[in-house]
Amino acid sequence: KKSDNLNSIEMYDEVLHPAVKTRATLETDLAFALQGQQLLLYFQVQVDETHQPIGAEVLLRWQHPALGMIPPDQFIPIAEESGEIVPIGQWVLQQACEQLRHWASAPLTRSLMLSVNVSAVQFNQPDFVQMVTDTVLQSGCDPRLLRLELTESLIVRNVDEIIGKIQALKALGMTFSLDDFGTGQSSLSVLKRLPLDELKIDKSFIKDILHNTYDTFIVETIIKMAKNLGQTVIAEGVEMQPQKTLLQTMGCHRFQGYLFSKPLPLEQFESSLQTEMAM
């Protein structure tokens, strides 16, 4: 997790020093972030072997009026504890669905998928399925272009209930990805029961894939397992061409990472697509 922190420091113009504000103050401020229009979405491209964009992951940012840009790793855990993640998560989903509907009218963007992160706290709300259904239907977007990213932290409860929720939403056409795969402690026997469409290999495994034979072996095993379960695989945190080449020889055909692009604000993301297509 150290490397994650180093990367956030590189990425954000103004870094929130942990001592600047107490957690309680951030929690209070967070309650106003949504109505104060301080939250915004960045988009990070996901590509196929030929570097063609196939979609993007939606990543939340908090533009704090006094502290500048606060990375999600610093405020999402607080939002999960306070419960604020529920309205925030709904807002992210609404924005993503509206973006998809908007993109549907242009040839360059109409087949792009959007991956939206869903917190376990949000997923475990009793009305989660209803909320997602209403949001998707009201937006008029194509649910087949919407992918929800879940993490293993979800699996603390009744697995049948989780499966039921996933299946209800899959019936609408949307798909599911398991994020940060390999970092949690859930057992494979539980994971294999979840009707997931995609496994996302965590960037901590990708980081040393070229030099750490243990990580190389883990990634190879994850890819094989996913194939056996009929799931596609995407690697996150791909920063160097040789990583991508190795992943490809192992059977991974979808990639996300700084090698292709950092997360970008909407306008920059859209113009990056234009340059990509022009090449």
Query: In the range 174-203, which residues lie near ligand C2E by CB under 6 A?
Result: 179-180, 203
143 binds, among ligand C2E, Ca ion, none (CB under 5 to 8 A by kind): none
User: Least Å distance between CB 3 and ligand C2E?
Assistant: 6
Q: Per-residue string for binding with Ca ion, 179-198, x by CB under 5 A?
A: xx------------------
Output 1 or 17, the one with its CB closest to Ca ion: 1
Q: Residue 165 to residues 88, 126, 130, 141: CA-CA distances in angstroms?
A: 20, 10, 10, 20
84 binds, among Ca ion, ligand C2E, none (CB under 5 to 8 A by kind): none
Rg (CA), the chain: 18
Of the candidates 239, 253, 264, 276, which one interacts with ligand C2E according to CB under 6 A?
239
Q: Is 264 exposed, middle or buried (0-12, 13-18, 19+ CB in 10 A)?
A: middle
Q: How many CB atoms lie within 10 A of CB 260?
A: 18
Cα separation, 236 vs 258, in Å, equals 9
Q: How many CB atoms lie within 10 A of CB 231?
A: 20
Query: In the range 11-50, which residues lie near ligand C2E by CB under 6 A?
Result: 44
Q: Per-residue string for binding with ligand C2E, 254-273, x by CB under 6 A?
A: ---xx----x----------
145 binds, among Ca ion, ligand C2E, none (CB under 5 to 8 A by kind): none
204 contacts ligand C2E (rule: CB under 6 A): no
Give Dmax (Cα) for the chain. 50
Output 56 or 112, the one with its CB closest to ligand C2E: 56
Give the number of residues written for the chain: 279
